[in-house]
């Protein structure tokens, strides 16, 4: 079942740009953090970028200066702007969010379905 809804992936040439979006549907009391991970074939999943409830951001060294993570709390949505794309960025990108649904629940992680990003040379 879909927990987070992702969009924006596709095929682009090296040097191009893509903007990924991820929305968290349903009731949400608090968003503790949101972020993006990626996984290339035969490789481990890695953190690309994250943003905390307080606004602190962090990025993988390989994407610093090229990718920007942002959020729209009113829409429960996180974005990943990817510029100067390289073939090495090719992977399935997964959205992640740590959410508190209501005051009687416990915060936990939710995941998107994944969106394919392919960068050709």
Position 2 pLDDT exceeds 80: no
77-82 and 91-100 beta bridge pairing: unpaired
Instruction: Find the mean pLDDT for residues 85-103.
Output: 96
Q: Report whether pLDDT(71) > 80.
A: yes
The side-by-side arrangement of strands in the sheet containing 5-7 is 5-7, 18-23, 77-82, 67-72
CB-based contact 10:119 (threshold 8 Å): no
Nearest-angstrom CA–CA distance, 55 and 4? 20
Confidence at residue 13, expressed as pLDDT on a 0 to 100 scale: 98
Enter the DSSP assignment of 75. Answer: G
Instruction: State the Cα–Cα distance between residues 98 and 109, nearest whole angstrom.
Output: 4
Tokens found for residue 45: 């999943």
Give the per-residue pLDDT at 1: 55
Q: Which tens digit of pLDDT belongs to each residue from 14-40?
A: 999 999 999 999 999 999 999 999 999
**pLDDT the model gives residue 36:** 98
Average pLDDT over residues 65-80: 95
């Amino acid at each position: 079942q879909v927990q987070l809804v992702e969009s924006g992936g596709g095929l682009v040439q090296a040097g191009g740009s893509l903007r990924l979006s991820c929305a968290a549907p349903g009731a949400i009391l608090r968003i503790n953090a949101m972020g993006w991970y990626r996984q290339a074939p035969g490789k481990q999943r890695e953190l690309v970028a994250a943003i905390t409830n307080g606004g602190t951001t962090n990025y993988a060294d390989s994407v610093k200066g090229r990718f920007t993570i942002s959020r729209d709390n009113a829409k429960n949505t996180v974005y990943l702007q990817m510029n100067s794309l390289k073939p090495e960025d090719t992977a399935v990108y997964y959205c992640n969010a740590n959410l508190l649904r209501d005051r009687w629940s416990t915060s936990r992680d939710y995941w998107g379905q994944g969106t394919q990003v392919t960068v050709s040379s």
